[in-house]
Amino acid sequence: MTVGVRRVLALLAAVTLLFGPIAFSHPGLAADQTLVVGLVAEPVNLDPAQVTDFNSTRAGRRVVETLIDFAPGSTTLGPNLATSWSVSPDGLEYTFKLRPNVKFSDGTPMNAEAVRFSIDRQINGESAAHKLGWFPYANYNFGTVKDIVVVDDHTVKFVLKEPRASFLGIMQGAAAGIVSPTAYNKLGKDFATQPVGTGPFKFAGWDRGNQILMERNPNYWGKAPRLQKIAFRWASDTQALLAQLQNGTLDLITDLPPDSIAALDKNPQFTVVKHPAIHVWYVGMNTTHGPLRDKRVRQALNYAVDKTAITRDVLKGTAIPAISPINPGTWGYNPDVTRYPYNPAKAKQLLAEAGFSNGFTVNFWVPESGSGMEAPVAMATVIQANLKAIGVTANIQTMEWGSYLKRLTTREQDLFALSWAAGQPDPDFVLYPLFHSSQWTPNGPNRALYKNDQFDALLDAGRKYTDQALRKKIYFQAEKLLTDDAPWIFVDHQLWVMVTKSSVKGFYLGADQDIHVNTAYRQ
């Protein structure tokens, strides 16, 4: 080795030793008071009513809270900013009693007027507040709201145009977050990037492209969190995210590909948490096209697909096989439906009965990736092989997500792979948009173009009655009809996987894929 080369090596070593340690120090803060969360993309906006992506809500919901929320670790709705609520017998009025003495982090009071303001700004196109924001799901969520009445300082009443029994679910959703009217009016369009709410944390800074910082909210109404600060960071490349967890920069990551999880599961330095997400992955069948019009053919395709093999071998245990669109463990799940265990012989027999003993050919549209799509191409390839085994040729066409969504509105699809993450246990959020005949694409997300009048009537009734026991009976019946008609190949429900350093404890996951860190701490 020449002297020159030695010099260069020595210099390199000096530089790395000098700067290396700086990278891992958190200046001025003890390690046990901070948490660094890794996301797969930079949030775009922290006002949950103005958001369309998970990364943004996962950060924004630490700051902005809703009136009601899931009890920790469950899908049962419980009190949050509202302590109690009641529904009028006709199902048209929802009255919420607010928690007293709650303040926003800017010191202004959270009261009935603030609740009215937070929702009204989304639906009242004439208000000045409406023009300061952008509310993509306002109609989807609050289109049925006729009026919001401030009864007294701590009581607010929502009057609906028509009964919508799942309205409480909407009031748990991110868009129903309660924001400080004072801060919103003062900050205008900038509110979305520096929100003010009642949550356990308050917004502390956004270093664009690098990180979002939050710190304890001294005005928080509940038990103060043990964490002092949270940083949200992101990496679109999952290998990069993984490397940052492994080298200690990140404390908690999610949305990892199934292949990476098995290795981490065995490593004692990390904790892998799996939690059922309210989600379903399916292959829709266009019920108005060719052989797929025949119920027996659609049932045959369901029997032909080995869902257990897909969840075991492709998804590596990060999903469970589905028997219907409804998640097991939620109140609307009917286990007693027409089931389609893997049975190619039965599938062939059904095809023969329908007059297709020689099979047929269909197109099969698959997105390359997409929100909640798991491993679409690998899964579709297995499904294609399964169908081939019963004589059905499915020609896969893969598309980029944006092009895919657009093309699905053409109704030219025969088979198509898609998923749905309702985030809510109420079956109305799954069955109505995906299967009610009023929701045929492009009017809504019913892309299998399914229509069954009896089923439609049941879903309408499910929205009308507020008694949950009665609704459960209604939806159980609807699910029986639906699985027998089989407009989809019901494939799987995703398990939401999160990996943390083993020293991080006390967090929990929501069924809506939210990460709750109010109670998190470092051991």
Q: Alpha-carbon distance 109 to 129, whole Å? A: 18
Cβ closest to other proteins, residue 37 vs residue 98: 37
Cα 439 from chain centroid (whole Å): 20
Q: By CB under 8 A, name the one of 6, 7, 186, 189 that touches other proteins.
A: 189
Q: Are 72 and 287 in contact (CB under 8 A)?
A: no
> Under rule CB under 8 A, which residues in 203-222 are in contact with other proteins?
207-211, 213
User: Which member of 420, 472, 503, 505 binds other proteins (CB under 8 A)?
Assistant: 420
Comparing CB distances to other proteins, the nearer of 13 and 385 is: 13
Helix H or strand E encompassing 449: none
Using CA atoms, how far apart are residues 390 and 219, in angstroms rounded to an integer?
63
Q: How far is the CB of 27 from other proteins (least distance, A)?
A: 5
Region of 36-44, 111-119, 273-281, 490-498 interacting with other proteins (CB under 8 A): 36-44
Q: Strands 392-399 and 319-321: what pairing? A: unpaired
| Distance between CA atoms of residues 144 and 160, nearest Å | 5
Nearer CB in complex with other proteins: 50/111: 50
Residue 306 or 426 having the CB closest to other proteins: 426
Told to check if 272 binds other proteins by CB under 8 A, we report no
Q: Is the dihedral of CA 508, 509, 510, 511 positive or negative?
A: negative
Rule CB under 8 A: choose which of 244, 299, 334, 386 binds other proteins.
Answer: 244
User: Quick one: 108 or 211, whose CB is closer to other proteins?
Assistant: 211
Q: Name the token pair of 323.
A: 């028997």
| Measured distance CA(259)–CA(101) in Å, rounded | 48
**401 sits near other proteins (criterion: CB under 8 A):** yes
Applying CB under 8 A, does 30 fall inside the site for other proteins? no
Helix 344-353, helix 295-304: angle, nearest 10: 160
345 Cβ neighbours under 8 A, 6+ residues apart: none
Q: Does 243 bind other proteins (CB under 8 A)?
A: yes
Is residue 59 within a helix (H) or strand (E), and if so which, with residue range?
helix 54-60
The helix-helix angle for 468-485 and 295-304 (nearest 10°) equals 90
Inter-CA distances, 486 with 56, 298, 444, 491, Å = 35, 6, 19, 12
Q: Using the minimum distance from each CB to other proteins, give the nearer residue, 308 or 438.
A: 438
By three-state DSSP, how is residue 432 classified?
helix
Residues 352-371 that bind other proteins (CB under 8 A): 371
Q: What phi and psi values does residue 352 have, to the nearest 5 degrees?
A: -65, -40
Q: Least distance to other proteins from the beta carbon of 435, Å?
A: 14
**How far is it, in rounded angstroms, from Cα 219 to Cα 190?**
22
Binding flag, residue 134, other proteins (CB under 8 A): yes
* Residue 377 in the binding site for other proteins (CB under 8 A): no
Count of residues that bind other proteins according to CB under 8 A: 68
Q: Which positions ≥6 away from 125 have C-beta within 8 Å? A: none
- Binding status of residue 417 toward other proteins by CB under 8 A: no
Q: How far is the CB of 312 from other proteins (least distance, A)?
A: 27
Among 76, 84, 247, 269, binds other proteins (CB under 8 A): 247
Binding segment (CB under 8 A) for other proteins, from list 42-50, 60-68, 171-179, 348-356: 42-50
Nearer to other proteins, 139 or 395 (CB): 139
Taking CA atoms, 69 is separated from 66, 92, 132, in Å, by 7, 21, 27
Under a CB-based contact definition with an 8 Å cutoff, are residues 354 and 295 in contact? no
Q: Which of residues 101-120 bind other proteins (CB under 8 A)?
A: none
String of contacts with other proteins for each residue 140-179, x by CB under 8 A: x---------------------------------------
Q: Smallest Cα–Cα separation from 172: which of 435, 510, 507? A: 510
Q: From the list 67, 148, 231, 491, which residue makes contact with other proteins (rule: CB under 8 A)?
A: 231
Indicate whether 331 belongs to the interface with other proteins (CB under 8 A).
no
Residues binding other proteins (CB under 8 A): 15-20, 22-29, 34, 36, 41-42, 44-45, 50, 52, 134, 136-137, 139-140, 189, 192-193, 207-211, 213, 229, 231, 233-237, 239-240, 243-244, 246-249, 371, 400-403, 405-407, 409, 418, 420, 433, 439, 442-445
